[in-house]
Chains A and B, each alone.
Chain A
Amino acid sequence: GENVEQHPSTLSVQEGDSAVIKCTYSDSASNYFPWYKQELGKRPQLIIDIRSNVGEKKDQRIAVTLNKTAKHFSLHITETQPEDSAVYFCAASSPPGQNFVFGPGTRLSVLP
């Protein structure tokens, strides 16, 4: 079955700097890669996603890139702000059942 790895497990950046979180997956059939943000004590919330027919997607300060050949995808956050501090999870999903396998998470701390 699918296996998703995520690095780093913790990341501290200064406010205004960029943050990059990387994930790899094992199942070449996976075709949908969402990223979730989870603040302390709250539910995971979708922040951006990318499908396998696209190499890059951007939404304001957040971008995701996908390399299907290498089976890895990355989350990029620019101009980080204290409210970006949270745990970020990547996931991979494959048809036909559309099950979602999550990475172990990255705890991002944005220091003022």
Chain B
Amino acid sequence: EAGVVQSPRYKIIEKKQPVAFWCNPISGHNTLYWYLQNLGQGPELLIRYENEEAVDDSQLPKDRFSAERLKGVDSTLKIQPAELGDSAVYLCASSLILSSGANVLTFGAGSRLTVL
């Protein structure tokens, strides 16, 4: 099993430029999450998908951030335009909610963004 795959691993851009991150979840996982992790802090949810539906995007800065999960499989997170404060690690995670209610969250390796 490949696990949660993210790309690119690292991205350096100048402020006001656009950037996009891609995530492919574990096969069969119906729930996909994008988290933001600042240095020395815990992951903070940006958006959560159940299949192709965004069910929680309350923490997503919609003026510059957008996300999509076409066909309920892989997902793209976009920032346009990027600001200096967007420098962080963007973590994708996926989970499968079983009929028992069990739900284990598995993270990707993350995409580290540096905005200059």
Known contacts A34-B104, A46-B106, A93-B103: does B33 contact A102 (CB below 8 Å)?
A: no
CB of A90 to closest CB in B, whole Å: 9
Contacts of B70 in A (CB 8 A): none
Contact of B101 among A6, A95, A97 (CB under 8 A): A95
CB closest residue in chain A, given B44: A102
Secondary structure dominating the interface of A:
strand
Mask, A9-43, CB within 8 Å of B = 1, is 00000000000000000000001101010000011
Q: Give the A-B contact count at a CB cut-off of 8 A.
A: 54
How many interface residues does chain B have, given as a range?
Answer: 20 to 34
Shortest beta-carbon distance from A36 to chain B in Å: 8
- Chain A residues with Cβ below 8 Å from B41 are 104-105
How many residues belonging to A are interface residues under a CB distance threshold of 8 Å?
26
Q: Once the chains bind, are B107 and A45 in contact (CB under 8 Å)?
A: yes
Asked if residues B109 and A43 are in contact (CB atoms below 8 Å), the reply is: yes
Interface, chain A (partner B; CB < 8 A): 4, 6, 31-32, 34, 36, 42-46, 49, 51, 89, 91, 93, 95, 97-105
